[in-house]
Structure 1
């Protein structure tokens, strides 16, 4: 007789923890074997003596002369006091003319901005003070600077239109005409003034 099994029941021994299931086949179980390979080379071109290496090595040598030329141009521009004043006058004229252009539909605001632009332009180019702004003084100063008589006459006419517009009815077409005439006159004065 052998050892007796005292703590184990003599029931059904089939529930031992693993349950068998049937295998369900979904789609294709095996993929098609590829006949071509997309392999890349493990050995890459070394950085030394590559195109990128030479570009990075030579770019400072090419940029140094460009930086020197740019710096000299900037120094010339900064040293040109008269040219800077003209550029400043152009910016001022464009600024005020742009303000006048914004007010093209509004007669009073347009002509005030246009007159202000013309006066500021004269102050910057001819070095005239606001207290000295009279048509005779403007005409003599522009003539001294060798601006043609026609251009001076156009400038004075625009100033007169600015003064008259406050008291007379003006259409949008006339405002547009005065604006384009002012822009043209300013550019003509810039070309002729010495």
Structure 2
């Protein structure tokens, strides 16, 4: 079966109100999920050398060799988001930042890298024919999943973060965003 890259768009697909908040959150998805008041955790599914998908390769400058990190984001032990972060295989800037164990990448992207450039969010529905959808299969995901991706750049080096939102998120949110700060 030949993989046809999805059509990424500037507007989010129609989803339930519970998913809409998370899907379109402008800031850190980690902060959004933590604001639910539930126990947030990151489970690393894979990290290492990979192959860039066709739509990823175009954003990375057309390399086929890539370095990737796949994670499951959980609330109270339930997987609600799966994510794929991918950079060029020859990029030391991002590889060292992706090698972080169970620590959320969002904490670094939105708090520790003031010179980081962030592109606009792009949205798609990823179906079973998309290899990124396979990340969600072990968690019972069926049918097309709403997804978003963003291109980050640090010192000219690109990183793509793609997040797929699982139906379980609807049961564990909504939560306010931005998070309410208490004194």
The TM-score with structure 2 as length reference comes to 0.24
Structure index of larger Rg: 1
Q: Which has the higher strand share?
A: 2
Greater fraction of residues in helix: 1
* Structure with greater contact order relative to length (CA < 8 Å, sep ≥ 6): 2
Q: Normalising by structure 1, report the TM-score.
A: 0.23
